[in-house]
A = this chain, B = another copy of it.
């Protein structure tokens, strides 16, 4: 089903597989969904919009085509115009460094838009999931893989430390640092099953279709709950990851001092009694 307001896109496909659910697909299958700059700029716009779109309560993120979630940075494009390009640059090294830093920060900000999106984001990952694929997945709230997924924190293989978020987030979301160090330092491929065992993904499905289906199912379930409750939960969990327990408890008290004024509590309690499905107004 199409979804209003996301039709003018060049590199992504946004549909609505269920009420209040958006499905965002990287749509460059001929190139294994490899990313270049216009793509992450568009991605940023999409997620900033979804974040405040009251018709959306949960988002599924996947890659179009059979082959790949994404093989990561389009290295060829990057070599020509971008950071890895080099080329004739008359600036001194320090000035070039400033340009690199600005570029990396803008790139990071775009990818972080999945994390900053107020609605939960569920990544459904299949096929090649290299380099930027991991940065993107780390920004999702929930990760689901299809059996054929081949993951790699590929960056050391092209001579650089991953700088778009993998190294910043992976040690915080996977509690097995020996494994985290191993896969980031060796760039070796790991399977969906290995990803599940170490806690990087929470489900492995038979194939891409099933993985997307599972993601849409979870998204639909989440979208059926109070959006006040759901969006508060995402925010508070992300706060907890970055702050002390005491700080999060305090923040939670303040957050809920506003959020508990919602009609959703009454609606939910009443539905619980009446055994009906509650309806929650838009947010």
Query: Which A81-104 residues sit within 8 Å CB-CB of chain B?
Result: 83-84, 86, 91-98, 100-102, 104
The residue of chain B having its C-beta at the shortest distance from the C-beta of A93 within the complex is: B261
Task: Categorize the interface residue count of chain A.
Answer: 35 or more
The residue of chain B having its C-beta at the shortest distance from the C-beta of A188 within the complex is: B221
Query: Which A193-248 residues sit within 8 Å CB-CB of chain B?
Result: 198-202, 218, 221-222, 225-226, 228-237, 240-248
A254 contacts partner chain B, Cβ-Cβ < 8 Å = yes
A2 contacts partner chain B, Cβ-Cβ < 8 Å = no
Known: A101-B258, A177-B199. 4 other contacts (CB 8 A): A94-B261, A159-B264, A159-B267, A163-B236
Known: A142-B181, A168-B249, A185-B222. A97 touches B234 (CB 8 A): no
Q: Is the Cβ of B261 less than 8 Å from the Cβ of A96?
A: yes
Which one of B97, B185, B249, B282 contacts A258 once the chains associate, using CB atoms below 8 Å?
B97
Number of copies: 6
Q: Is the interface of A mostly helix, strand, loop or mixed?
A: helix
Known: A97-B261, A202-B176. A268 touches B233 (CB 8 A): no
Give me 5 A-to-B residue pairs in the complex whose CB atoms sit less than 8 angstroms apart, sorted by A's number. Answer: A161-B228, A161-B235, A172-B177, A177-B199, A198-B199
Q: Is the Cβ of A281 less than 8 Å from the Cβ of B95?
A: yes
Q: Is the Cβ of B104 less than 8 Å from the Cβ of A142?
A: no
Residue among A95, A180, A244 having the largest count of chain B Cβ atoms under 10 Å: A95
Q: Is the Cβ of A171 less than 8 Å from the Cβ of B95?
A: no
The residue of chain B having its C-beta at the shortest distance from the C-beta of A227 within the complex is: B95
With the chains together, A231 CA to B167 CA distance in Å?
12
What are the 3 A-B residue pairs with the smallest beta carbon separation, nearest first? A175-B175, A176-B199, A161-B232
User: CB-CB < 8 A to A232: which residues of B?
Assistant: 160-161
Which one of B108, B173, B265 contacts A249 once the chains associate, using CB atoms below 8 Å?
B108
Shortest distance between the CB of A180 and any CB in chain B (Å): 7
Shortest distance between the CB of A24 and any CB in chain B (Å): 18
* 0/1 string, A242-273, CB within 8 A of B gives 1: 11111111111111111111111111110010
Q: Is the Cβ of B97 less than 8 Å from the Cβ of A155?
A: no
A18 contacts partner chain B, Cβ-Cβ < 8 Å = no
Shortest distance between the CB of A256 and any CB in chain B (Å): 5
Shortest distance between the CB of A204 and any CB in chain B (Å): 12
Q: Is the Cβ of A283 less than 8 Å from the Cβ of B98?
A: yes
